[in-house]
Chain A
């Protein structure tokens, strides 16, 4: 994600938060134990790396129960927790900057960014 456009996104989020107050739902998320990547609980007790696959719970109690079950699978997933989402028009959206970055990855570049050294 381009860090400049991510700044604009951050403002859009405030608006969607206002819209979605009536439509709060829940998902279960954590990190995969093997590589620390973001994990979203999906159907059939599996975990996905994509937010779009997340199983949406209509109420917090059900989400909590699922979280508890997930917490017992420490070899697969570490420290799962429950978080709110907005589910307007079947589009799943997270509600905080933190969850947005978890779902999309770092907003800033990384890796081999430097000029490639010229081999003499």
Chain B
């Protein structure tokens, strides 16, 4: 399927596999964190990369011990009103040092993309039926931000200072 990655539309090799469904023999998959924790050794032996998916009620610290080995962490936004994923993203990046692909999935709309990117997300599965090309414009909508976040931890007052020197 197509996803947004680093501000462009790309083909995505990862396939979401629900709990209880058998994994394909090979290829890249995303499984629930619960499944990953239960079957970690087997998954590591499997051919193909394995990423995890966090529910909105699963905190970043649950995935923290595995950040070095996960190519993708997908964070669910079950409804656009459920903003827990923003905290999850920031903590994965800023506190636990996750350097792989951080993907927002679920009710992901154009109008959340700017905030999501600021919270450390670099990949997005846009809600189906929505204009993906148009959505890319969301990243340019603001050229100034007041507060620090995963993209730049410095609040504006620290950036102001350096801009004047």
Are A and B direct contacts in the complex by CB distance below 8 Å? no
Residue positions of B touching A, CB distance < 8 A: none
Residue positions of A touching B, CB distance < 8 A: none
